[in-house]
Each structure stands twice: as C-alpha cells, then as structure tokens.
Amino acid sequence: MSPPVAPTGWSRWLVPPAALSVHLSIGQAYAWSVFKPPLESALGLSGTQSALPFQLGIVMLGLSAAFGGTLVERNGPRWAMTVALCCFSSGFLIAALGAATEQYWLIVLGYGFVGGIGLGIGYISPVSTLIKWFPDRPGMATGIAIMGFGGGALIASPWSAQMLESFGADPSGIALAFLVHGLTYAVFMSLGVLLVRVPRPDSRPTPSGPSPIEGVQVSAREAVRTPQFWCLWVVLCMNVTAGIGILEKAAPMITDFFADTETPVSVSAAAGFVALLSAANMAGRIGWSSTSDLIGRKNIYRLYLGVGALMYLLITQFGDSSKPLFIVCALVILSFYGGGFATIPAYLKDLFGTYQVGAIHGRLLTAWSTAGVLGPLIVNWVADSQEEAGKHGSGLYGLSLTIMIGLLVVGFVANELVRPVHPRHHIPAPREAADDDTVRHEQSA
C-alpha cells in the first residue's frame, strides 16, 4: 500500500483528528481495570490472572512498535491505522467469543495478543505524519495525538462501567460489552483511516515555516547505533519510572501521608486525587509538549527531570505537613510524566529528522515497557519492605521517593549528554548520493 498523498487544498488540521480517532480508541487499554472485577467473579479468576490481557497487551505494544516501525514508515499511516483498527477491534471480538464460551485463554489471546499489536502499530501510526505536517510545531502536533492516548481511558472507563451495569457482569454480559466495544472502536477509528494523508514531498505546510524534509536525516537502523538514541532511551525510561512512582500508589499514598493529621483523606477523596492526576497527565501531554516548540526540547526535559526531582524532594521533606503542597507537587510530577511521553517524538525529529522518525519512536518505546515493569516493581517492593520494617504513614514512602529523585537525576544527566548526531550517521542527501555515484563510476572507469 502506498502512502496516501494529500490532494491540492487538503488542510493539515484534518490530520490531528485522524490521529486522535486512533489514540482515543487505543487509550482504552488503561481502562482495562473496569473489566477485572466482573471477569474475576464470572470466570473465577484471581487478580493476577485477570490482569494478564492488559499486561500482554502492553508487552505487545512495545514489541509491535519496536519491530513494526519500519513497516509503518514504508507503507504509510493509512496502512498502519488500518492494521491498528483490524487488530484492536478483532481483539475485542475474539475476547467476546472467549467470554461467551467462558474460555479465558481466548480473552488473553484476543485482547492481549491481537489487540496489543493494534496498540503498538496504532500508537506510532500518526507520529511521523503529524511531524511532517507540522514541521513548525512538532511538539504541539504529537502532543495532541499522545494526549488522546491518555484521554482514551477517560472515555472508556465510565463508558465500559455503564455498559457492564446495563448488560450485566455475567459471561454473556461481558461478551456483549466486548462486542459493542469492538464494533464501536472499528467505526470510530475508521475516521482516521479515511482522513489521514501525507503531505506532498514538494509541499511546505506553512508559508514561512520549514519544509517537512529539511535538515538532518538518519535512518532507524542507524539511529539505534548513536549514543543520542540511548541517552533519550534513558531519559524516557527514568521520566516514566518516576511518574509511575506516584501513579502506582497514588490513592494509598495520599491516605497514608495524612492518616495521622487532623484532616485525614477519605477513600472517595483519594479517588478524586487519582482522577486529578489523570487530568494533569493529559494536560501535560499537550501543554508541555507545545511549550517545547518555544523553549526547545533539551530545556523542556531539563524542566521535567530537574524540577521533577525538586518536586519529589519537596514531598519527601514537607509533604506530610501541607496537603496543598503535596497535591500540587504530585500534579506537577504527573504533568511532566505526560509531557515526557508527548515531547519525545519531537526530540527525535530534532536529532534524527523526519525520514524514519516513526520507526525510531517505535524502538524508543521499549524504554516505556522497561519503565512499566521497573516503576511498579520498585515502588511496591520498597513499600512492602518499609511496612515489614514497622514504618507507617509518610515513612512508608521515603525510600521510594528518594529512589525516584535518584532516577530523575540520572535522566537529567543523560539529557545533558545529548549532542547533535555525528554526520557519519546521516543519510546522504539525493544530490550528494548522485555525486558519490558519479565519483564511483569515474573511479571504476
């Protein structure tokens, strides 16, 4: 399939909604927890078992983004969005069959394996195209799309819960809910498939802005051989791990911090705190990523990692003495977490150009998968060990918060080490390549 080239008069403002239709759909993955309790009671599963489809889905997201990135670059965004639509929707349909026949392995296979491929291909599908359409504001463009991934859970969480309430939480009710999800997401994502276009190679999306193919260009294969790629890998991994440090334990953390004060936090208030963190995560994706277009990518990551470490330090030192301070610091950390995700494609574009930025982004997402394992592991292990040591209240979290500060400092240093890519990694410009060929012909002659 050749990439769909925009006809004359095509507006670039049609591309962000195309990207959003995919990201808002696949962001449903973060609302999987809604299905856990009904599945556990209907099929007699443990908590660990009911988490399997989500975990496999995230693993498949990382793998398909890493290994499918080059295919996405070659075949274009419409192909990628079609694959994402087919995999994500049919994943739900297979899961519906699994629920209806009470074959849990089918739910794991459908939602986790097949749907997970849809997650990975869908996640990277619009990145390269958006950057090409918005060379003047790549941070804002990718911020819009990646904000959609956060927004997807906000939509799916209440929607799925209402559906399960209407259809019932028995196997047939769950099957029907999966079926409706699969069909609805297929229709919703089709807008992206129909609307997405790549700019013409000779076009300039803004009259005074840069051309989509100006500047340094590095292939995905070559990019992973550069220290810059691995510095950004560390930056993303550390930033995400630090965010997960708060996300993973948000509700118990705020409850424990203020348990011994005059104003303890209730269960419903803690749920409100978690919701507010989701809002900060989403707002950070579009807000900070757009800001990076103005102040530069390196500076914005200095902010994420440096100020993020400072926020963690404030929580460690004064968090239990002031509820507003604790909440504000946590919100800032979560906004940086979202911002880190959304700004990384534009950072990659600055370093490696637009040539295969989607594929490079796909490979970099392995940092996310690593952080997804590392973050919860550190936080839960430390919390358990502190509890065993007899600590309580805010004392339970002191060590894990200090570890998070350390990780952010490592990320900060990695960001400082990022330099422009050495010219030996650049792909030759067409003219240079032609000259090289001429020289080679002359020499052989």
Partner 1 sequence: MTTPSGTSSPPSPRRRGLILFAWLWVGVPLAYGVYELVQKATQLFTG
Q: Of 292, 303, 127, 138, nearest to 215 (Cα)?
A: 138
Distance of closest approach, residue 32 Cβ to partner 1, in angstroms: 16
Name the residue nearer to partner 1 (CB basis): 151 or 173: 151
Angle at 212 between CA 207 and CA 214, to 5 degrees: 100
Distance of closest approach, residue 170 Cβ to partner 1, in angstroms: 25
Distance of closest approach, residue 195 Cβ to partner 1, in angstroms: 6
151 part of the interface to partner 1, by CB under 8 A:
yes
Q: Which of 118, 135, 148, 287 binds partner 1 (CB under 8 A)?
A: 148
Q: Of 280, 285, 258, 282, nearest to 269 (Cα)?
A: 258
Q: Which of 44, 103, 271, 440 binds partner 1 (CB under 8 A)?
A: 271
Give residues 169-188 in contact with partner 1 (rule: CB under 8 A): 188
136 part of the interface to partner 1, by CB under 8 A:
no
Distance of closest approach, residue 386 Cβ to partner 1, in angstroms: 25
- Quickly count: other Cβ atoms within 10 Å of residue 8's Cβ: 6
For helices 267-295 and 323-352, the axis angle rounded to 10 degrees is: 40
Dihedral (C-alpha) 158, 60, 69, 240: value to the nearest 10 degrees?
A: 70
DSSP class of 218? -
Give residues 7-26 in contact with partner 1 (rule: CB under 8 A): 8-14, 17-18, 20-21, 24
Residue linked to tokens 């463009």: 141
Q: Which of 72, 114, 183, 203 binds partner 1 (CB under 8 A)?
A: 203
Q: Of 147, 418, 153, nearest to 305 (Cα)?
A: 418
Angle at 146 between CA 141 and CA 149, to 5 degrees: 145
Distance of closest approach, residue 427 Cβ to partner 1, in angstroms: 23
6 part of the interface to partner 1, by CB under 8 A:
yes
Name the residue nearer to partner 1 (CB basis): 13 or 105: 13
In angstroms, the CA 313 to CA 292 distance is 24
Distance of closest approach, residue 374 Cβ to partner 1, in angstroms: 27
State the DSSP string of 390-412: T--GGGGTHHHHHHHHHHHHHHH
Residues written for the chain: 445
> Which residue type does 3 have?
P
Distance of closest approach, residue 370 Cβ to partner 1, in angstroms: 29
Name the residue nearer to partner 1 (CB basis): 167 or 273: 273
Q: What string marks each residue from 211 to 250 as x (binds partner 1 by CB under 8 A) or -?
A: x---------------------------------------
The residues that touch partner 1, with contacts defined as CB under 8 A, are 6, 8-14, 17-18, 20-21, 24, 148, 151, 153-159, 188, 191, 195, 199-200, 202-207, 211, 266-273, 275-276, 278-279, 327
